[in-house]
Amino acid sequence: MFGDIMFCNQNYKFGVIPKKDGYAIRLALKPGYITSEQLDAISYIAKNFGEDRIHITTRQGIGLKIKFEYLEEAERLLNDVGIKLGSTGKRIRQIVACIGTECPNSIGDSIKLAGMIHDEFEGIWVPKKLKINISGCPNDCTHHQFCDIGICFRYILKIDKKECSECGKCRSFCEVDAIDWKNKVIKENCIGLGECLKLCNAIKVEDKVISIFIGGKGGRFPKRGKFLANVKTENGVIKVIDGIIELYTKFGKGRVCDFVEHVGIESIKKSLKEKGLI
């Protein structure tokens, strides 16, 4: 009835999805860049073990189909160039990052941070798939607000009261009306992109922070993540993610958004605060 293939005997594992005519393998790529040596290895596998083509996934990953008998050799060739199989199932998935410091809008190095997160967390077990996206600025090119853990570099701005001449030219400049030019303050609704820095020298960068959002998701019923905290350093972000994962693996059942809804964002904040993480 099911032909020659006995799926129950196949070596189903992380990053390997059995299909009726071979395995679909997915690669857990270090975010940002892929080397020519790695591309050569992937190309060799596609040409000799697969269908002479690869699939670019929606999460900046790579998937390809290979014949059943080549799984072990394909994995060995990939491991030789520093690539593991992964990014399937109830795991931390391929980390997504924007081009970061190559972009003129960049406020922080999204690729470096994504690499740190990849090294620390990629592939670890969680109750449901967990997606982490990192944008180098609030322009949100990675849709970080619509994934389980979203991260973005941003500015905290201020108006230098001595330098401001009350000319009012910033009055209608800000898209979210975050400049209170009369009182010479930047309001809390500022998204921290810093477009206004180009407008007036009285607007200054007070700080750079990394904002963390949780509980977003895309799909049929998209949800915007909730703001969790601003963190000062990349290592601080790693610690917060670690804290979120600990809570989620202990108490979560559905996706992170279900967990956030169930326990409430404030109790997550409280718990992370008690641990000194935010």
Q: Which residues bind ligand SF4 (CB under 6 A)?
A: 98-99, 103, 105-106, 110, 135-137, 139, 141, 157, 174, 176, 178-179, 186, 190-196
CB 150 → ligand SF4: shortest distance, Å?
11
Q: How far is the CB of 252 from ligand SF4 (least distance, A)?
A: 28
Give me the half-sphere count of Cα atoms (radius 13 Å) on the Cβ side of residue 196. 28
Q: Which is closer to ligand SF4, CB of 155 or CB of 248? A: 155
> Cβ of residue 234: shortest distance to ligand SF4, in angstroms?
16
- Nearest to ligand SF4 of 23, 181 (CB atom): 181
Are 157 and 138 spatial neighbours (Cβ–Cβ below 8 Å)?
no
> Which CB, 190 or 268, lies closer to ligand SF4?
190
CB-wise, 88 or 135, nearer to ligand SF4? Answer: 135
Helices 234-251 and 265-274, packing angle to 10 deg: 120
Minimum CB separation of residue 230 from ligand SF4 in Å reads 14
Nearer to ligand SF4, 187 or 273 (CB): 187
| E strand segments, 121-188 | 132-135, 149-159, 179-180, 185-186
C-alpha 243/C-alpha 246 separation (Å) is 5
Q: Output 88 or 211, the one with its CB closest to ligand SF4.
A: 211
- Minimum CB–partner distance for residue 76 and ligand SF4 (Å): 35
Beta-strand relationship, 84-85 and 22-28: antiparallel
Q: Which two structure tokens, joined as six digits, stand for 16?
A: 């390997």
Listing DSSP states for 77-123 in one string gives HHHHTT-EE---SSBB---EE--GGGSTT-SS-HHHHHHHHHHHHTT
- Of the candidates 190, 167, 170, 193, which has an alpha carbon nearest to the alpha carbon of residue 178? 190
Distance CA 57, CA 75 (A): 19
Q: How far apart are CB 131 and ligand SF4 at their closest, in Å?
A: 16
